[in-house]
Structure 1
Amino acid sequence: MPLWNIRTAKNVYTADDKKAFADSITSFYLDVVGLPKFYTSVVFHEFDPENFFLGGEPTDDFVLIEVVHVARNMDELSEKLGTTMTEDDLYSLMRESFAGIIRPFVDDRGLRWETAVVEGLFKSWMIDGMTPPPPFSDAEKTWARQNKPSPYDTASA
């Protein structure tokens, strides 16, 4: 599960902007990280400027993005990719990738922005009451093909 919580003042993004932003995020996790498409959630939280403060001042030009990662962690990705990159290198690559996703939706609009990533525990995660299959497993590939969760044999996954 990557979950992107995008917090902005009201009317920063149109419905079409939000769809394009969510599509860009989802494509990254599908094409680059290899996650089933339905694992990715994007939620836009909009506030009146008088309810959104930055440095103690109300703001209407700031985008705060919190990303929660549970489906993959850096150790798994490093091992799967067979890379000798350090953890710091992987986080740097992630930040660069996220900036590439975000910049088209902030730079030309004169918006300031910030991101923070929180990594959760895979073993604490459930979808529709089921523990998701192990990363990169055949069961996860089945979920990806079906684009939804389905029962699987946990003993052989």
Structure 2
Amino acid sequence: MPLWTIYHPPGAYTPQQKQQFSADITGFYTRYGNLPAFYVVTVFQEIDADSFYIGGEPSAASVRIKADHIAVHTDDPDTRVRTRQILARILAPHTTDRGLYCEFHIDETPRDLWVLDGMAPPPLKSEAHQLWVQENRPVPY
């Protein structure tokens, strides 16, 4: 599961912009990772400038994004660079192209500490995983 938390100024995104931003993030994982769409969770958290500081100064035009990768990890340096580059392109229309300062990072959480609807997720590339992709929901296996 990728869990994205997007900290942003109040009013930075309309409901439609949040929907598109979330759809773009989800598309990355379904396209490149063959993950079920329901694995991708995006949380938008409005933060007032008097509670959002960059370098000790309040910021009313900053977005801070934290992505937790749980379903898939990689140690391959080239894959990590490509992932960062692709995500930077996906983020730009929602952040820097709109004049918002943006910081982004990914944490990798151990997959064996993850549960969906009371079930451990099936192994990647397994038949059960493919069923979860097709059904777009957790299914007993």
Q: TM-score, normalised by structure 2?
A: 0.97
Query: Match of 2:18?
Result: 18
What's the offset of the Cα at 1:51? 1.1
Give the Å deviation of 1:108: 2.8
CA contact (8 A) 2:3 2:68 kept: yes
* Corresponding residue SS for 1:74: coil
Q: Which residue of 1 aligns with 2:78?
A: 89
| Aligned residue runs from structure 1 range 97-108, under 5 A | 97-108=86-97
TM-score (norm 1): 0.87
Structure 1 residue matching 2:60: 3-state secondary structure:
coil
In structure 1, runs of 5+ residues without a counterpart are: 76-86, 153-157
- Paired AA for residue 126 in structure 2: S
Match of 1:79 in 2: none
1:116: how far off? 0.8
**Secondary structure of 2:13's match?**
coil
Per-residue CA deviations over 1:21-67 (Å, capped at 9, x if unaligned) read 00000011001111011000000010111111111111111110001
Unaligned runs of 5+ in 2: none
Specify the alignment match of 1:150 in structure 2: 139
Identical columns (%): 40
RMSD (CA atoms): 0.9
Pick the aligned partner of 2:99 from 96, 110, 125. 110
Partner of 1:2: 2
- 1:120 aligned residue: 109
Moved >3 Å (runs of 4+): none
Q: Which residue of 2 aligns with 1:131?
A: 120
After superposing the two structures, state which structure 1 stretch, 87-96 or 117-126, moved more. Answer: 87-96
Q: Which residue of 2 aligns with 1:84?
A: none
Name the amino acid aligned to 2:15: A
**Structure having the higher Rg:** 1
**CA distance in 1 between partners of 2:36 and 2:92 (Å):** 24
Question: In the alignment, is the contact (CA less than 8 A) between 2:64 and 2:104 conserved in 1?
Answer: yes
